[in-house]
Amino acid sequence: MSHAVPVSDTDFETEIEKHPGLAVVDFWATWCGPCRMIAPVLDQLAVKYEGKAKVAKLDVDSNQQTAMRFNVRSIPTILFFKDGKLIDQVIGAVPRAQLEQKFEKHAA
């Protein structure tokens, strides 16, 4: 079971842009190998930072409007929002330590 919340074009504003504090969104697709590699890492971080960060997943194939809005051109792209504002991003399947560093920096 995933600890990341699925979000879509229709509820992105409510779930992410109106979320107080840190929200981390994984832009991914089912056919994307690197996306599948990074998914368990994000899941572990969602558990570790429960209460400090909301972790969400957005399938770019079925939610192209939001992906285009944030200029997501390659996946996985992980966007960090603080109080609804885009503050950081990570592109590609990066090591857990690199992702955790971003969580630490922004969840404080």
Q: Catalytic residues, which ones?
A: 32, 35
pLDDT at 47: 96
- List, in order, residues 6 or more apart from 69 with CB less than 8 Å away: none
pLDDT at 22: 98
Which residue intervals of the chain are DSSP H helices? 12, 33-48, 64-69, 96-107
Indicate the number of domains in the chain. Answer: 1
62 burial type by CB count under 10 A (0-12 exposed, 13-18 middle, 19+ buried)? exposed
CATH number at residue 9: 3.40.30.10
pLDDT at 108: 77
pLDDT at 106: 97
Q: Residues of the chain whose pLDDT is less than 50?
A: none
Residue bearing tokens 């603080």: 82
- List, in order, residues 6 or more apart from 91 with CB less than 8 Å away: 74, 76, 77, 78
pLDDT at 1: 61
The answer to whether the pTM exceeds 0.85 is: yes
- Residue 76, domain extent: 5-107
Q: Which of 31, 35, 11, 10 is nearest to 23 (CA)?
A: 11
Neighbours of 103 (CB within 10 A): 20
Q: Give the separation between CA 54 and CA 5, rounded to whole angstroms.
A: 8
List, for residues 11-38, the tens digit of each pLDDT value.
Answer: 999 999 999 999 999 999 999 999 999 9
